[in-house]
Homo-oligomer: A and B are copies of this chain.
Amino acid sequence: MAAISDLTPTELRRDLHTYPEAGWKEFRTTALVAEELADRGYTVSLGGDAIDVDQRLGVPSADEVEAAEQRARDEDAPEAYLERMDGVTGLVAEKAFGDGPVVGLRVDMDALERPEASDESHYPVSEGFASRHPDEMHACGHDGHTAIGVGVAREIDDGDAFDGTLRVFFQPAEEGGRGGLPMSETEHLTGIDYLFALHLGLDNETGRVVAGYERPLSNAKVDVVFTGESSHAGKAPQAGRNALQAATTAIQNVYAIPRHEDGATRVNVGQVHSPNAQNVISELARMRVEVRGKTAAINEYMLEEVERIVEHAAGMHEVSVETSLYGKTTTFTADEAAVDIVADAARSVEGVTEVARREDIGASEDASYLIERVQELGGNATYVGIGASNPYGHHTARFDIDEASLGIGIDTVAAAIRDC
């Protein structure tokens, strides 16, 4: 492949779309971006310098991560940067252009673990940039986000209208809410005057910009494993310790966690597996639980309820239980100053047809931790929606983005940065 510095944002997005990397596996993506920005004079902090390694959530097994790193190597990721990453993905690139304000931009890089549609009517197929990784796909637009992040870094670098410091966060593992928290717990958040995060699509047509997407539900994902003892269901039913009965009791009670007077709650159970044969008392049941709350406090309430329920479901059936946090996000409200800047900037951008100031973002989002941290330290932040027409839903096999949105995204954010 060509160096990414030779690629337009659209070409870059297509390259990333071709080689999607799921959470904590973004080795090629990180290394390519780092190379170009380092070449441009950005200071690049990689892996453990960009992320609090100990606070990472939902990290795949060491074998899986190593395989992903090797794959990146096989797919021409620059070796020097792979080495600097030392097994950990993520990147913060920073460059000072003057004594003006410190402005952060956060984009996410990870793909989803799902196959992509393979028929010719799917644009990435007909244009030849569909995923070459069987069970990974950029089905949420993060390929575009990364391309915008690079595009903004180029545009600010090439122009002369910004006299502050630009710090771009290329965050890993947004899916599941696994990378935001450990990235927020670094010194890179210090001193930021304005932070922008962004998302393409989200049911907004190309040309629509939401300057202040806000108030996502706080979210937590917990993996639960019940371990019992098997026995023959016909000969000695009482001798087992039934992990499935524990899981079943937990599931019914988890869905029945009381509503909360202070605002919305959500709860769901996914990926339940109890693999024993029919004539064997279940010795293993796995389940993945997700809760949400309007506020971080309500989310904590839900999480504590889940913890207590699974503990006692296990005790009731004399099985053991282990829980582990898979991912977590919080909530935020956009700052008026930041919303103003983005709204004004967007109105000046070619291709922008509608600018909304504030809207509730239904989904959960771990940029929330970076935003919260910036706000705690006195900065202003907002989360920006960049319309990108596409007829299929996020996370589906046929998801795609209107590439016209890439330029709009770059121009809007770059204009906002210059206005800070």
Contact = CB atoms under 8 A, between A and B. Distances in A.
Contacts of A245: 251-253, 255-256
A272 B235 CA distance: 21
A60 to B, nearest CB: 15
A280 B112 CA distance: 14
A66 to B, nearest CB: 24
A288 B255 CA distance: 20
Contacts of A313: 312, 316
Interface in A229-267: 233-240, 242, 244-245, 248-249, 251-253, 255-256, 258-261, 264-267
A252 B253 CA distance: 8
Interface string A380-419: 0000000000000000000000000000000000000000
Interface in A310-334: 311-313, 315-318, 326
A132 to B, nearest CB: 23
Protomer copies = 4
Given A290-B279, A316-B309, A244 B269 contact: yes
Contacts of A238: 258-261, 301
B244 A251 contact: yes
A292 B290 CA distance: 24
Contact of A252 (B176, B221, B248, B274): B248
A348 interface: no
Contacts of A280: 268, 270
